[in-house]
């Protein structure tokens, strides 16, 4: 069990505030849009664990700072050198990657994503939430895996086929396709598109609507609606990470 005061200020890339049981998580880099890196990866893994262990968190809002949700995009290159890690280095990163995804899925209260702009690194993160809102300027791209020189084995190989269908997902992952906000809405990845000033107010409105339900209704519905995804992850995440590691281990 975790207490809010114990983890609220310990992350450099996640700003946390809670009101009436609704926890708002804002990912950022020095107050602006998140620039993805090892610190953000490690802190989100720990934050999802802490948030999930705090019984006072009743609904989670996940959003970003600035004009992007996450970036920067990795620029594709035909001669891109595949990054190399030692087996020990990949063992640490691969283990963290598994916990990163599973800690989020193990949160037992509803999650709402408010995607404030392009999500070009780890675009699966907001899409794993139960309700996904986005601005008109949002976009989704997996720029850091296949087109960036990596096997897409950290969970995107599970999430996107489930959300998009197999053929669309394979194209998306193999080509580095960028989906506009409208594309994402039409594919069912996003539930609502809103102007930027209305994004967070709408997310809070939905969160307060969810709070009208009894706590056990919220908790057990979240568990039920994420069970299929957790089972798929349990079956395929470690396998994907093993293949990703085999391709980059020295």
Cα-based angle 33, 109, 96 (whole degrees, multiple of 5): 55
pLDDT at res. 86:
78
d(CA 54, CA 52): 6
When pLDDT is cut at 50, 70 and 90, the band that residue 83 belongs to is low
Q: What is the mean pLDDT of the chain?
A: 94
Active site residue 124: yes
The owner of tokens 């950290």 is 154
The model's confidence at residue 69, banded by pLDDT at 50, 70 and 90, is very high
Q: What is the predicted pLDDT for the residue at 77?
A: 57
Lookup result for tokens 């967070």: 200
pLDDT of residue 95: 84
Residue 182 has pLDDT above 70, yes or no: yes
Nearest to 4 by CA among 14, 17, 13: 17
The residue segments making up the domain with residue 177 are 4-248
Average pLDDT over residues 104-118: 98
Catalytic residue among 124, 192, 227, 244: 124
205's tokens = 């409105």
pTM above 0.75, yes or no: yes
CATH number of the CATH domain containing 78? 3.90.226.10
What pLDDT score was predicted for residue 248? 86
Number of folded domains that form the chain: 1
Per the structure block, which two tokens stand in for 101?
């995804």
């Amino acid at each position: 069990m975790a207490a809010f005061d114990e983890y609220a200020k310990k992350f450099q890339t996640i700003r946390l505030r809670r009101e009436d049981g609704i926890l708002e998580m804002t990912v950022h880099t020095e107050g602006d849009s998140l620039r993805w890196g090892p610190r953000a990866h490690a802190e989100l893994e720990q934050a999802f664990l802490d948030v999930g262990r705090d019984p006072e968190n009743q609904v989670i809002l996940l959003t970003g700072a600035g004009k992007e949700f996450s970036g920067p995009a990795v620029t594709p290159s035909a001669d891109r050198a595949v990054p190399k890690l030692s087996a020990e280095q990949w063992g640490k990163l691969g283990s963290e990657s598994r916990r990163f995804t599973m800690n989020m899925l193990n949160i037992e209260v509803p999650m709402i994503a408010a995607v404030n702009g392009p999500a070009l690194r780890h675009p699966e993160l907001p899409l794993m939430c139960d309700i996904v809102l986005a601005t008109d300027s949002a976009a989704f791209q997996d720029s850091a895996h296949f087109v960036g020189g990596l096997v897409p084995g950290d969970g995107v190989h599970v999430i996107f086929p489930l959300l998009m269908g197999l053929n669309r997902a394979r194209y998306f992952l193999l080509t580095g396709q960028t989906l506009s906000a409208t594309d994402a809405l039409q594919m069912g990845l996003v539930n609502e598109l809103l102007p930027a000033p209305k994004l967070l107010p709408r997310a809070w409105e939905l969160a307060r609507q969810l709070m009208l339900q009894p706590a056990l209704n919220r908790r057990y519905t979240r568990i039920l609606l994420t069970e299929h995804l957790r089972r798929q992850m349990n079956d395929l995440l470690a396998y994907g990470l093993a293949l990703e590691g085999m391709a980059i281990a020295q």
